[in-house]
């Protein structure tokens, strides 16, 4: 799965969890850019992404992402393990 496919899949997970059909993510998107991306939704997103990609993040991954691109990095690394 290439980065674009990962990003598109992550985008769909965000749309489902945040209940916002118009949401368009880029690798530069941060929590500041998405109104509903708060601490609780962050957890919902993490677990929904884990389920979608059948991966498991380490707790340090979850806290360290500064933007969607870094989230995609973590997913790509897990998929390549």
Partner 1 sequence: MEHPVNYIYNKIAELNPMHGKKLKKNIAFFDDRYYKLADAFFEKYTGILQAQNKSLDYAIDCYLKMIADVNAETIEFLRSGKYSSTTFEEVNQRVYARPETMEYYMHGLIMSQFLWKHHYQIVDFFISNLPAYKAETKSYLEIGAGHGYYLSKALEILNDKASFTVVDISETSIALAKDFVKNNRVEFNLQNIYDYNSDKKFDFITLGEVLEHVENPLQLLVKVNDILSEDGVLFLTTPTNAPAIDHIYLFESADFIRDMIHVAGFKIEKEVDLLTEDVSPERAAKLKIATLYGAFVKKDKAAYL
Footprint of partner 1 (CB under 8 A):
17, 19, 31-32, 37-40, 42-44, 46-47, 50, 56, 59, 62
Provide the minimum distance between the beta carbon of 1 and partner 1 in the complex, in angstroms, as a whole number.
22
Provide the minimum distance between the beta carbon of 39 and partner 1 in the complex, in angstroms, as a whole number.
4
Q: CA 80 to CA 66: how far, in whole Å?
A: 21
Task: Compare residues 3 and 28 and give the one whose CB is closer to partner 1.
Answer: 28
CB 41 within 8 A of CB 17: yes
Provide the minimum distance between the beta carbon of 16 and partner 1 in the complex, in angstroms, as a whole number.
9
Q: CA 17 to CA 7: how far, in whole Å?
A: 15
**φ, ψ for residue 58 (rounded to 5)?**
-85, 155
């Amino acid at each position: 799965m290439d980065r674009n496919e990962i990003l598109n899949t992550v985008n769909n997970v965000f749309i489902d969890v945040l209940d916002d059909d118009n949401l368009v993510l880029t690798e530069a998107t941060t929590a500041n850019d998405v109104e509903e991306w708060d601490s609780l939704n962050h957890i919902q997103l993490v677990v929904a992404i884990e389920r979608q990609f059948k991966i498991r993040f380490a707790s340090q991954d979850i806290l360290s992402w500064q933007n969607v691109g870094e989230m995609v990095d973590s997913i790509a690394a897990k998929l390549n393990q």
